[in-house]
Structure 1
Amino acid sequence: MNPSSPGRNAGLDTLRALAIVLVFANHYMLFVSGTPTFGWFSEVGWTGVDLFFALSGYLIGNQILGGIRRSRLSDGGERFSLVRFYARRLLRTLPNFYVVLALYALWPAFRGTSVLPPLWKFLTFTQNIQLTPGTAFSHAWSLCVEEQFYFLLPAVALAIAACRRPLLLAWLAVIGTLLAGMAIRSHLWTAHAGMVEQGSFHYYTLIYYSSLCRFDELVAGVALALLKNHHAGAWTRLTSRGNWALAAGAALLALTWSLFIEDHYGYAMTVIGYPMLGLSFTLLLIAALSPGSLLQKLRVPGAASIALWSYAIYLTHKTLCVLLRAPLQAEGWGPDSWQAIVLMSAASALAGWLLYLLVETPFMKLRDRYVPGNFARQAVPTGVVA
């Protein structure tokens, strides 16, 4: 899809571009410079992953919930197809992932001195379970969380849709899931993570990378999709106040960021910080989806392209910057110099564009040709006039 395609939402593009810029700033601090090169933005940059989760939760949740709703209302024999949904999802995520994984596995220089976990963990999307920080391709943990969530979500949604009072059950599932996440993090912090040094590898392995602890923003995005598909009146009222949602989301996000900077690994932020991020990003999503809102009308130069390449940039930028650090240092350009920052940023964008162009785009064309949608037509019984 072209960045200027009329089917794209400028607000969502801006948020997606913001997410990858946040992640880049944080990874630059952690793996390249060792200092907060971009100030507080580097320190909160890890929340870019959570923004990606919220975006994915809404977009994929809207496909699933909207598809189930359309199936129930359809009189033409259409039904939401799990096979087609999974096929489209995997054709979107796997090609780029496999190409980058092959670089880590087959080109030792690409992973440097980092140890690559067993390949089966990547192939089964279980690499994030008991993940040791600092291993090669460790940032793929977020893809594992997403894929696990989206393999489970359609089955849960279909099961709830088959029950009596499905809408009530759906909202109870959303609330119960968020409360369960808080309870799990509370238990893990109290029983384990709180006993060791704050910010230790133990905290990341046990809580930060754990699927059971990191689905808050995904669920928040799905809740927004549920609101859109089953509460038309409330959705209309919310999206008619997009600028208020933008102001509220920005204010809550600023507060949440400041609290995380002050006490990232403490008990309170471990338990409630992620739901706060989920609510902040949900409000920003509402603003992006509101006709006429500032976020939707604003066209940030380059944001549409960066958004389009964001998945490819996410997969490649960290190792690329680490590989570039030594030769740039040899030229007298340290990681905090403007020359190194510009060159590494440009290289990351270029690598993302190439991966998008050479791998992602051809598979998207194949997907559009062979699996153009999530729906399959039900067979018409013999003797019945369609």
Structure 2
Amino acid sequence: MTTTATARNAGLDTLRALAIALVFANHYMLFISGAPTLGWFGEIGWSGVDLFFALSGYLIGNQILGAIRRSQQSGSRFSLGRFYARRLLRTVPNFYVVLALFACWPYFRMDLVLPPLWQFLTFTQNIGLQPGTAFSHAWSLCVEEQFYFLLPALALLIAACRKSLLLAWLAVAAALIGGMLIRSHLWTSYVAAAPEGSRAFYTLIYYSSLCRFDELVVGVALALLKNYHAAVWARLTAHGNWLLLAGGVALALVWSHFLADHYGYAMTVYGYPLLGLSYALLLLAALSPGSLLQKARLPGAGAIALWSYAIYLVHKTLCMLLRAPLQAQGWEPDHWATVLLMAAASVLAGFLLYQLVERPFMALRDRYVPSHEVLAVTRQPAASAVR
């Protein structure tokens, strides 16, 4: 769910802005208005998290795999320590500041129960998470952090093996198939007999790391394709507008099936990888030179994309806190003016968090941990030994 400040791409910014808009619409429907105020866009808005996963999977996967490939060619070394340091300096400051508000200011968490702090501090809050707890939307960050804790170590291990490229693609396939098998087992054993949209579905499947990494894996697969199959990548990205059309059609079909049967067996098992495939097509379109998605610069999309992580962390609770005082002034939650006001407040809060916390720590990261690669040092013979 994070962004990168370098080499910004208008297409990726548009997708990131779409992701946070989807999430906002869904949370507004669930926690503010209690009705489909924004129509089908709000009902399917939960999939904005999956779009964040796909974006993050590609961007971080490209960093890791690109560094490993360069190390194989130039002798530089990918540093796990530096990768983790850069990752934590990117995600932890914003997260811990918002967490401190929940932990130290009872008004901020309202009457909701806050899970134990150690679960947030160790990014394990999503494991066994019960819906309706304070700061519950941090579950997606936990899934990302767990994934990126394991990914670079696994990538280095595979790179050290014979036929590493084949093993890498087998790992991608195994992860997607494994996710479907796990969801199938959990749905059949625990969710089938429960009411639609029950707590069991959310706790065991929706919030679970083992069940929700499909789009992250798909994003990494795109990075693998870019770094190790350059000819195929070039042929694909030469048809950016067709990819955009295919991704839009595929996404519309997947969304329509999720809207019709979000909690059913078929969409629970197969829907997430299909959603990942749809987003992968849109990502390819965004990365295709000259495509409409890459060329079109929507007003404000770049800024929203840059602040999207901060907006994600604060928007839900902020809107919940604003609901009662706004309603007391006659601003009903289902009115379009109230929606716009809360959206603007969320963007402003995200901007302030970005400026006051995220940006300074990004500057520290760039100063003290500028790269996750260590250049190889060639030892020169001592001067006395040279004749």
TM-score by length of 2: 0.96
Structure 1 unaligned spans of 5+: none
Mapped pair 1:292 → 2:305: no
2:266 is matched with 268
2:197 is matched with 199
Question: What is the CA distance between 1:271 and its match in structure 2?
Answer: 0.3
Q: CA separation in 1, counterparts of 2:152 and 2:379?
A: 27
Q: How do 1:1-386 residues align onto structure 2 when only pairs under 5 Å count?
A: 7-74=7-74, 77-381=75-379, 383=381
Give deviations 1:160-216, integer Å, cap 9, x for gaps.
000000000000000011000000000000011111001011110000000000000
Question: What is the CA distance between 1:6 and its match in structure 2?
Answer: 8.5
Look up the equivalent residue of 1:340 and give its one-letter code: T
TM-score by length of 1: 0.97
Question: What is the CA distance between 1:382 and its match in structure 2?
Answer: 6.5
Give deviations 1:105-144, integer Å, cap 9, x for gaps.
0000000011000000000000000000010000000000
Q: CA separation in 2, counterparts of 1:284 and 1:96?
A: 28
Q: CA separation in 2, counterparts of 1:58 and 1:145?
A: 15
Look up the equivalent residue of 2:355 and give its one-letter code: L
Name the Cα RMSD after superposition.
1.3
Question: What is the CA distance between 1:380 and its match in structure 2?
Answer: 3.6
Question: What is the CA distance between 1:374 and its match in structure 2?
Answer: 1.1
Q: CA separation in 2, counterparts of 1:377 and 1:8?
A: 25
Q: CA separation in 2, counterparts of 1:383 and 1:117?
A: 59
Q: CA separation in 1, counterparts of 2:6 and 2:84?
A: 26
Question: What is the CA distance between 1:361 and its match in structure 2?
Answer: 0.4
Give deviations 1:24-74, integer Å, cap 9, x for gaps.
000000000000110000000000000000000000000000000000100
Q: CA separation in 1, counterparts of 2:250 and 2:225?
A: 21
Question: What is the CA distance between 1:340 and its match in structure 2?
Answer: 1.2
Question: What is the CA distance between 1:378 and its match in structure 2?
Answer: 3.3
Question: What is the CA distance between 1:381 and its match in structure 2?
Answer: 4.4
Q: CA separation in 1, counterparts of 2:7 and 2:70?
A: 20
The SS at the match of 2:192 is helix
Structure 2 unaligned spans of 5+: none
Q: CA separation in 1, counterparts of 2:122 and 2:377?
A: 34
The SS at the match of 1:132 is coil
Residue 384 to residue 364, structure 1, CA distance change in 2 (3 Å)? farther
The 10-residue stretch of structure 1 (244-253 or 332-341) with the greater mean CA deviation from structure 2:
332-341
Q: CA separation in 1, counterparts of 2:327 and 2:6?
A: 43
Aligned positions, number: 380
Q: CA separation in 1, counterparts of 2:144 and 2:382?
A: 42
Q: CA separation in 2, counterparts of 1:83 and 1:129?
A: 26
Look up the equivalent residue of 2:374 and give its one-letter code: A
Question: What is the CA distance between 1:8 and its match in structure 2?
Answer: 1.2
Look up the equivalent residue of 1:54 and give its one-letter code: A
Look up the equivalent residue of 2:72 and give its one-letter code: R
Look up the equivalent residue of 2:192 and give its one-letter code: G
Question: What is the CA distance between 1:384 and its match in structure 2?
Answer: 7.9
Q: CA separation in 1, counterparts of 2:6 and 2:77?
A: 28
Q: CA separation in 2, counterparts of 1:119 and 1:7?
A: 36
Q: CA separation in 1, counterparts of 2:382 and 2:108?
A: 61
Q: CA separation in 1, counterparts of 2:380 and 2:94?
A: 44
The SS at the match of 1:198 is coil
